[in-house]
Amino acid sequence: MADETLRRYYDGLPREGGFPARCHMELPRRTLSGARVVNVGCRRGKGCYKLSELVGPTGRVTGIDWRPSLIDEARAGVSAALERSRMPHSNMTFAVAYPERLRSAVAPESADYVYLNSSFALFADPLQALRECRAVLVPGGSLLIECAVADSEGSAAARALVVEAARHLGNAVQAAPSRAQLMGWLAEAGFMAPVLREEHEVAADRGSVFDHRVPTVPGDDAAYRLVALEARKPR
């Protein structure tokens, strides 16, 4: 996908609100101390600030987003985050890049973990983004992906129309792939079979906070579940 095509696509996505604005993170139940973590779709950096505390002074967190204004806000919040965590120095960097061009900001085989939140369903080319994630991971590194999956009994054509409309709305739940499609993408991108860390139902109109609702595509018969997966890059 050409850079100009990516620019037009991402410029057309809503900037605020919606499910991807949530900051819940389902992380491995093991220490992340000293780890190098890349957070793709980091928005204003809240997830990076959380990861910063978990990896500690010897770790490194890189926040990536395609929206320069949000990266500026993330950088502006670093001092306050360090004051809260009492870290001796900053272990965070932020950069502007498209998920499909991750290697323009992150060196190949330089990350122990890559974290993708629910905005993954809104990426212009999810498969290419997964390939980029694999490229920046060290051998044996882990992709942590937290996104919705769709279960629909309708036709593939009807589902494709819902996904297209949901992307225009910025609704990351209704834009979700099926579970089989997500697993297929992970395999095609070169990841090992993922481990399921968490799973629960999620409503299509679920917004960034409990009582906030977002616009939805009408006539959608799908049910949605939020899954948190860990997929390793082979050694």
Whole-angstrom distance between the N-terminal and C-terminal Cα of the chain? Answer: 29
DSSP 3-state assignment of 130?
helix
Q: What is the dihedral of CA 208, 212, 217, 221, to 10 degrees?
A: 90
pLDDT at 28: 81
Domains, the chain, ordered by start = 3-147+178-203+224-233 (3.40.50.150)
Segment 116-157, tens digit of pLDDT? 988 899 999 999 999 999 999 999 999 999 999 999 988 999
Strand partners, 146: 228
The rounded distance, in Å, linking the Cα atoms of 157 and 162 is 9
Dist CA 182 CA 79 (whole Å): 37
**Distance (Å, rounded) from C-alpha 9 to C-alpha 130?**
18
- Average pLDDT over the chain reads 92
Distance in angstroms (rounded) separating the CA atoms of residues 78 and 93 = 9
Instruction: Give CA–CA dist 191/140, Å, rounded.
Output: 10
Using the predicted structure, report yes or no on whether residue 196 has a pLDDT greater than 70. Answer: yes
Rounded to the nearest angstrom, the gap between the alpha carbon of residue 215 and the centroid of all alpha carbons in its chain is: 21
Element of type H or E holding 105: none
pLDDT at 75: 98
pLDDT tens digits, one per residue of 37-66: 999 999 999 999 999 999 999 999 999 999
| Residue 124 φ/ψ region, left for φ over 0, alpha for ψ in the -120 to 50 degree band, beta for the rest | alpha
Percent of the chain at pLDDT exceeding 70: 94
